[in-house]
Amino acid sequence: MPPNSSLPTLNYRIYLGSLLFSMCMAFSAVLIGIIILACYFFPFSVRYQASQLWVHFTLAAAKLFCGIDYQVEGLEHIKDIPVAIVLSKHQSAFETLALRIILPHHAVLLKKSLLRLPVWGWAMATLKPIAIDRSQKRHALRSLVEKGRGYLQEGLWVLIFPEGTRAAPDETTKFNAGGALLAEKTAYPVIPIALNSGIYWPRNGFIKYPGTIKVKIGPPISSQNRKASDINNEAIAWITQAMATL
């Protein structure tokens, strides 16, 4: 059943569109993974741009086959910021793709196990991720701060999904404070992001529903001389309020 009563009833067009999109995404991911790996000895920017081209292609396929589009609000909040830490709501695979072209070049925090996936996981490993083992919390937090600091100083933004996993649109989950701790330690600003992708692109779901996903970027949150708990609470408050308007 659709996750929202305003969505259309399931029909053969939605099933067929979802099937075609899944096939297109899978085959293209293998192809672009090979291309990125072939560019291993090229500058990082070349590999990153290759990944962005794939994202553009994938989102175009989602629009063509599934009728999924997206709108971004609040780009003015990031246009004059050279480097920042992004704390984003996480509902589906959509934002892991779309934020790669919405935001400036960035490193993303992810599970180390993802890098073991054939071809695409290997390609991801060349895109400067911050890969952690969540079962070793202290080591994971130390890796986030150390690698995150290095990437920020390098000029890369750092993208973190503080919920740690995809949550359903009507589900409330705890925001881990790792991203806020990185902000406390480095004094870089935090950019909060709210979105409603899970309505149309459900987590772990094969079916995709037509509609327009809304992405809302918030104003920067200062981390200068502030504790991680205060930074995290302010980000949570803004995202919670923004989610109520989507």
pLDDT digits over 39-78, tens only? 999 999 999 999 999 999 999 999 999 999 999 999 999 9
CATH number at residue 159: 3.40.1130.10
Q: Which residue, among 88, 149, 93, has the nearest Cα to 120 in the 3D structure?
A: 93
Tens of pLDDT, residue by residue over 124-141, are 999 999 999 988 888 999
Q: Domain range holding 209?
A: 68-243
State residue 137's pLDDT score: 86
A 10 A CB-CB count for 242 gives 21
Side-chain half-sphere CA neighbours of 174 within 13 A:
4
User: Is 83 domain-assigned?
Assistant: yes
The rounded mean pLDDT for the chain is: 94
Q: Which contiguous run of DSSP H or E holds residue 71?
A: strand 68-73
User: Is 86 domain-assigned?
Assistant: yes
pLDDT bucket at 8, cuts 50 / 70 / 90: low
Beta strand pairing status for 157-160 and 85-88? parallel
pLDDT bucket at 2, cuts 50 / 70 / 90: very low
Supply the DSSP string of 212-238, one letter for each residue.
Answer: EEEEEEPPPB--TT--HHHHHHHHHHH
Taken in order 166, 169, 174, 175, is the CA torsion positive or negative?
Answer: positive
Rama region for 76: left / alpha / beta (φ>0; ψ in -120 to 50; rest): alpha
Whole-angstrom distance, CA of residue 40 vs CA of residue 26: 21
Domain count, the chain: 1
User: Is 88 domain-assigned?
Assistant: yes
Tens of pLDDT, residue by residue over 148-187, are 999 999 999 999 999 988 988 888 888 999 999 999 999 9
What would the mean pLDDT of 10-24 be, rounded to a whole number?
A: 94
User: Is 48 domain-assigned?
Assistant: no
| Tokens, residue 112 | 């180390």
State residue 204's pLDDT score: 83
Q: Quick one: what percent of the chain has pLDDT higher than 70? A: 97
pTM: 0.93
Length of the chain: 246
User: Is 6 domain-assigned?
Assistant: no
User: Is 11 domain-assigned?
Assistant: no
User: Is 62 domain-assigned?
Assistant: no
* pLDDT over 50 at 108, yes or no: yes
What would the mean pLDDT of 77-81 be, rounded to a whole number?
A: 95
Q: Please check whether residue 34 is in contact with residue 119, taking contact to mean a CB–CB distance below 8 angstroms.
A: yes
User: Is 227 domain-assigned?
Assistant: yes
> What is each CA distance from 246 to 76, 78, 126, 139, 193, in whole angstroms?
19, 20, 35, 36, 12
State residue 216's pLDDT score: 98
Q: Please check whether residue 217 is in contact with residue 193, taking contact to mean a CB–CB distance below 8 angstroms.
A: yes
What would the mean pLDDT of 87-95 be, rounded to a whole number?
A: 97
**H-state helical runs in the chain:** 12-38, 44-66, 94-102, 120-124, 137-154, 178-186, 228-243
Q: Please check whether residue 21 is in contact with residue 93, taking contact to mean a CB–CB distance below 8 angstroms.
A: no
